[in-house]
Amino acid sequence: MNSRSVKFVVSPAVGSVSAEYFVPESGKCIMTLAHGAERGWIIPLWWRWRRRLRSGDRHLRFNFPFTENKKGRPDTPAVAHQTIAAAITHAHQTFPAYAVCRGKSFGGG
C-alpha cells in the first residue's frame, strides 16, 4: 500500500489542512476518515481501520483546523462541516469513485 501526504484548502478564511492518502493497488471506492475531538488523525482507531483496508479500498484521513493549528478546543460546527466537505471533494476529485465517509465522535457529527 502506498501512502501520500497532501494538503487541501478548506476555504480561504479557514486555510489548509494536512491529509494522508493510503492507496492499495486496486480499489473501487475512496473512504474519508474524520477523527474525533480528543486527538488528531494519528490514533489507534485509524491504524486498525488502515489494517482492515490494507488490501481493500483507498482511504484518506485528514486533520481538522483545530488539530492542524494545535488549538485546544474543537472547531465550530460550520468549520467542521466545511472541512469534511472539502475532504470528501478532494478525495473524490483525486480518485473519482464511489465515496464513503466515516467519522469518530466529533468527526462523525
Separation CA 65–CA 77 (nearest Å):
12
Measured on CA atoms in the order 35, 41, 44, 47, is the torsion positive or negative?
A: positive
Given strand 98-103, what is the order of strands in its sheet? 2-11, 15-23, 58-62, 29-34, 98-103
Looking at the whole model, is its pTM more than 0.95?
no
Domain count for the chain: 1
Beta bridge partners of 22: 3, 59
Res 11: pLDDT: 96
Res 85: pLDDT: 93
CATH number for the domain including 99? Answer: 3.40.50.1820
Q: Does residue 60 contact residue 32 with C-beta atoms inside 8 Å? A: yes
Per the structure, the complete domain to which residue 74 belongs is given by: 2-108
Question: What string of pLDDT tens digits covers the 109 residues of the chain?
Answer: 588 899 999 999 999 999 988 887 777 778 888 876 666 555 666 666 666 655 567 888 898 999 888 887 888 989 999 999 999 999 989 888 777 776 666 655 4
Residue 3's H or E segment, with its range, is: strand 2-11
Q: Does residue 9 contact residue 15 with C-beta atoms inside 8 Å? A: yes
Res 41: pLDDT: 56
What values do phi and psi take at 4, rounded to 5?
Answer: -145, 120
Q: What is the largest CA-CA distance in the chain?
A: 38
